């Protein structure tokens, strides 16, 4: 699948914003005192800015942007529509909470709204992942690994944003962050092992139903020039490049952030380290998301398969 | 509306005969030219006259080569060929036939599935399936060009038009088949009318008595990638067995070594084997 830059930016930035909102709101509900209102406002503002930056980026991916509002109408059948509604609700509730924080409302009310924000942020993450894992013609996405990986990546990026805002981290929180990061690393590794072991039916004989007659291969494409299908789904990354990119992404999204957490454990939690860790994490996640697209083969390419199989 | 309508008995679709198709692309050209001026708007191409043209075509014809399951090279020595013939006859009794090598031309277009994911994933309701005849269409006034429907289609039925910013697909010539201004015989999809070898047929596959359903039964028509659960309506008729696989040649009698026969009987064997 062609890795569209706007969709990669959308999933990584919005994922970070939603992860920040989820974790930030949980912290708010559990630990709120009125002197943390400033940090809570920052969390909300940063979370909503990241979420909307991603949404605007994905809005640019559309062919007819002026009709984008129609994307909210088919929630009965479409995960993309459900995600749009959930994102809108998260925005609305986040804005309400922000307003309520500025006018110093009743703590119980604030906690209720924060709860709603958490729920809708999680729902948005869930719906986004379901868009991908319900696509049957893409075996690399149509499996149970995509949802947990997606949600965990968002939570990890949210956790590091939260660390930046909160300033310091208590030991249990450091351990929690480490745990989340390790979980993401192992889950990602398991996903990559899974897709490496996929026996994709990208064979011309299977797609055309002619495999019963013998070994089938395409000898003439239907067109001499490019077409949309090959442009969008014909992108296949060579194995050796994929492996190298996986290593690069792991260094940036796992190793460098882990080192920064270790440094913080030993008391070296300067702002520079946090910024480096956050940017490294986001950069690594973008590389990983790029790979998520580039390593996914669409079944339609089987019709163009020139290998004898 | 992207929720699927309750299934009706009428399932309009195409039957494509892979045995007859010669790969002339007349159907592809007829489709492109009809839809260029049809109800669903133009099919513009980018860089149409420049070096790198690209555009939407609803119907695309692939060409495949099928290698024979048991190739029988003609250059083998007599003893080797006898041995192979004996082995082949034994194998033929195990598997039904040993198809010959062949070239198959394969027109690929929307299969108007009964359970199309391309309809349910659409967030705007632009992609819909008609309840009355099962045709899957795109309302180009509503489409936002998010391309998710093309990701959901394993058959590559939907293409994105860079020029128009929307998705486009085969309409089963819905603007022809009900068109009262056309003579009755012309109320068929453009691709069906253009085919010079009559390899394409249009009809109601939900009606067991229609001529397309009869054809599917007679020739064992098959659907593409049925394991995905989309339940395509269009059917493909497989290539018929070639002459070398006719029942006389797959008999269980010991193979006849024609080189030991006198020339008259050799000639007779040749004539009777045609």
> How close, in Å, is residue A304 to chain B by CA atoms?
8
Tens of pLDDT, residues B161-179? 999 999 999 999 999 999 9
B208 and A CB contact within 8 Å: no
Residue closest to A52 by CA, chosen among A20, A5, A4? A20
Does position B183 have pLDDT exceeding 70, yes or no? yes
> How close, in Å, is residue A241 to chain B by CA atoms?
24
Residue closest to A120 by CA, chosen among A151, A164, A89? A89
Does position B41 have pLDDT exceeding 90, yes or no? no
* pLDDT band with cut points at 50, 70 and 90 for residue B96: very low
Does position B211 have pLDDT exceeding 70, yes or no? yes
pLDDT at B260: 72
Q: At B60, list the tokens.
A: 């695309």
pLDDT at B74: 46
> How close, in Å, is residue A298 to chain B by CA atoms?
7
Tens of pLDDT, residues B20-34? 999 999 999 999 999
Does position B258 have pLDDT exceeding 70, yes or no? no
In a 3-state reduction of DSSP, which class is residue B102?
A: strand
Rounded mean pLDDT, B194-216: 96
CA distance A17 to A21: 6
The angle that helices A5-31 and A107-133 make with each other, rounded to 10 degrees, is: 150
Question: Between the CA of residue B80 and those of A168, B98, B227, what are the distances in Å?
Answer: 83, 19, 42
- φ, ψ for residue A213 (rounded to 5)? -90, -10
Contact B273, B52 (CB under 8 A): no
State the best of B64, B108, B117 to mutate against chain A, taking most chain A CBs within 10 Å.
B64
- For residue B95, what is the nearest residue in chain A, using CA coordinates? A212
- For residue A61, what is the nearest residue in chain B, using CA coordinates? B146
Does position B251 have pLDDT exceeding 90, yes or no? no
Rounded mean pLDDT, B136-151: 95
pLDDT at A84: 95
> How close, in Å, is residue A131 to chain B by CA atoms?
8
pLDDT at B93: 47
Least confident residue range of A83-92, A161-170, B80-89, B259-268: B80-89
CA distance B261 to B267: 10
B40 and A CB contact within 8 Å: no
Alpha helix ranges (H) inside B9-136: 26-36, 78-94, 117-120
DSSP 8-state assignment for residue B9:
S
Rounded mean pLDDT, B143-157: 95
Residues of chain A with Cβ-Cβ distance to B240 below 8 Å are none
Residues of chain A with Cβ-Cβ distance to B3 below 8 Å are 74, 76-77
Residue closest to B146 by CA, chosen among A11, A4, A289, A133? A4
With CB atoms and an 8 Å threshold, state whether B124 touches A1.
no
State the best of A57, A61, A77, A299 to mutate against chain B, taking most chain B CBs within 10 Å.
A77
**Chain centre to alpha carbon of residue B124:** 30
Residues of chain A with Cβ-Cβ distance to B70 below 8 Å are none
- For residue B121, what is the nearest residue in chain A, using CA coordinates? A78
CA distance B57 to B174: 17
CA distance B240 to A114: 67
A228 and B CB contact within 8 Å: yes
A299 and B CB contact within 8 Å: yes
Tens of pLDDT, residues B47-69? 889 988 999 999 999 999 998 76
pLDDT at A283: 95
Residues of chain B with Cβ-Cβ distance to A229 below 8 Å are 150, 156, 159
Sign of CA dihedral A196, A199, A205, A207: negative
Please, what is the end-to-end C-alpha distance for chain A in angstroms?
22
A64 and B CB contact within 8 Å: yes
Q: Residues 65-84, chain A: which have Cβ within 8 Å of B?
A: 65, 67-68, 70-74, 76-81, 84
Tens of pLDDT, residues A40-81? 889 999 999 999 999 999 998 899 999 999 999 999 999 999
> How close, in Å, is residue A161 to chain B by CA atoms?
30
Tens of pLDDT, residues A176-198? 889 999 999 999 999 999 999 88
DSSP string, B163-199: TTTEEE---TTHHHHT-TTS-GGG-S-HHHHH-TT--
Out of A84, A213, A222, whose CB is closest to B61?
A222
Contact A208, A309 (CB under 8 A): no
With CB atoms and an 8 Å threshold, state whether B69 touches A214.
yes
A309 and B CB contact within 8 Å: no
Question: Which residues, given as ranges, of chain A have pLDDT below 70?
Answer: 32-36, 200-201, 269, 308-309
> How close, in Å, is residue B78 to chain A by CA atoms?
26
B72 and A CB contact within 8 Å: no
Mean of the per-residue pLDDT values for chain B? 86
Instruction: Kindly provide the ipTM of the predicted complex, given to two decimals.
Output: 0.91
B84 and A CB contact within 8 Å: no
pLDDT at B246: 53
B150 and A CB contact within 8 Å: yes
pLDDT at B95: 44
Helix (H) or strand (E) segment spanning residue A57: helix A37-60
Residues whose CB is less than 8 angstroms from the CB of residue A119 and which lie 6 or more positions away in sequence, other chains included = none
Tell the residue number behind the tokens 């630990």, with chain if given: A31
pLDDT at B244: 63
pLDDT at B89: 59
pLDDT at A238: 80
The angle that helices A146-166 and A171-196 make with each other, rounded to 10 degrees, is: 150
Q: Facing residues of B136 across strands?
A: B129
Contact B60, A224 (CB under 8 A): no
Residues whose CB is less than 8 angstroms from the CB of residue B96 and which lie 6 or more positions away in sequence, other chains included = none
State the best of B123, B145, B242 to mutate against chain A, taking most chain A CBs within 10 Å.
B123
Residue closest to B147 by CA, chosen among A59, A63, A12, A6? A63
pLDDT at B75: 46
> How close, in Å, is residue A175 to chain B by CA atoms?
40
Rounded mean pLDDT, B223-230: 94
> How close, in Å, is residue A184 to chain B by CA atoms?
27
DSSP 8-state assignment for residue B256:
P
């Amino acid at each position: 699948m062609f890795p569209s830059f706007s969709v990669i930016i959308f999933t990584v930035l919005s994922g970070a914003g939603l992860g920040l909102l989820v974790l930030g709101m949980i912290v708010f509900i559990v630990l709120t005192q009125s002197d943390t209102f400033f940090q809570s406002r920052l969390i909300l503002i940063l979370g909503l800015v990241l979420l909307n930056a991603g949404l605007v980026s994905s809005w640019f991916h559309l062919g007819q942007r002026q009709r984008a509002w129609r994307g909210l109408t088919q929630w009965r059948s479409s995960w993309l529509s459900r995600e749009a509604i959930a994102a809108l609700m998260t925005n609305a509730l986040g804005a309400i909470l922000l307003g309520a924080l500025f006018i110093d409302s009743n703590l119980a009310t604030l906690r209720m709204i924060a709860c709603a924000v958490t729920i809708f942020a999680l729902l948005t993450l869930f719906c986004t992942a379901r868009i991908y894992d319900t696509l049957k013609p893409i075996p690399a996405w149509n499996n149970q690994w995509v949802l947990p990986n997606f949600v965990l990546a968002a939570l990890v990026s949210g956790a590091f944003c939260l660390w930046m805002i909160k300033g310091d981290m208590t030991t249990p929180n450091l351990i929690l962050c480490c745990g989340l990061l390790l979980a993401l690393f192992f889950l990602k590794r398991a996903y990559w092992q899974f897709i490496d072991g996929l026996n994709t039916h990208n064979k011309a004989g299977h797609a055309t139903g002619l495999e019963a007659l013998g070994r089938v291969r395409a000898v003439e494409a239907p067109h001499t020039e490019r077409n949309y299908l090959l442009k969008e789904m014909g992108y296949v990354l060579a194995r050796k490049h994929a492996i190298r990119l996986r290593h690069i992404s792991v260094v940036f999204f796992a190793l460098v952030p882990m080192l920064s957490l270790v440094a913080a454990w030993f008391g070296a939690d300067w702002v520079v380290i946090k910024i480096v860790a956050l940017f490294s994490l986001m950069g690594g996640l973008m590389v990983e998301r790029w790979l998520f697209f580039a390593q996914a083969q669409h079944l339609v390419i089987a019709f163009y398969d020139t290998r004898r199989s | 509306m992207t929720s699927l309508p309750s299934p009706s008995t009428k399932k309009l679709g195409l039957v494509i005969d892979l045995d007859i198709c010669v790969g002339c692309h007349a159907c592809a050209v007829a489709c492109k030219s009809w839809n260029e001026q049809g109800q669903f708007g133009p099919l513009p191409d980018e860089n149409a006259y420049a070096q790198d043209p690209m555009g939407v075509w609803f119907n695309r014809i692939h060409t495949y080569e099928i290698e024979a399951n048991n190739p029988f090279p003609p250059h083998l020595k007599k003893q080797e060929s006898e041995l192979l013939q004996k082995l082949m006859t034994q194998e033929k009794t195990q598997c039904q036939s040993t198809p010959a090598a062949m070239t198959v031309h394969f027109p690929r277009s929307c299969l108007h599935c009964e359970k199309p994911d391309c309809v349910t994933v659409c967030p705007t309701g632009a992609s819909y399936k008609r309840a009355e005849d099962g045709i899957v269409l795109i309302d180009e006034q509503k489409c936002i060009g998010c391309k998710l429907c093309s990701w959901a289609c394993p058959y590559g039925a939907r293409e994105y038009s860079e020029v128009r910013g929307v998705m486009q697909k085969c309409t089963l010539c819905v603007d022809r088949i009900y068109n009262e201004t056309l003579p009755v015989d012309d109320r068929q999809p453009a691709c069906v009318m253009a085919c010079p070898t009559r390899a394409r047929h249009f009809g109601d596959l939900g009606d067991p008595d229609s001529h397309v359903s009869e054809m599917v039964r007679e020739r064992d028509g098959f659907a593409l990638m049925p394991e995905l659960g989309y339940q395509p309506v269009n059917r493909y008729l497989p290539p018929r067995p070639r002459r070398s696989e006719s029942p006389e040649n797959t008999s269980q009698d010991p193979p006849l070594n024609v080189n030991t026969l006198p020339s008259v009987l050799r000639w007779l064997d040749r004539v009777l084997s045609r």
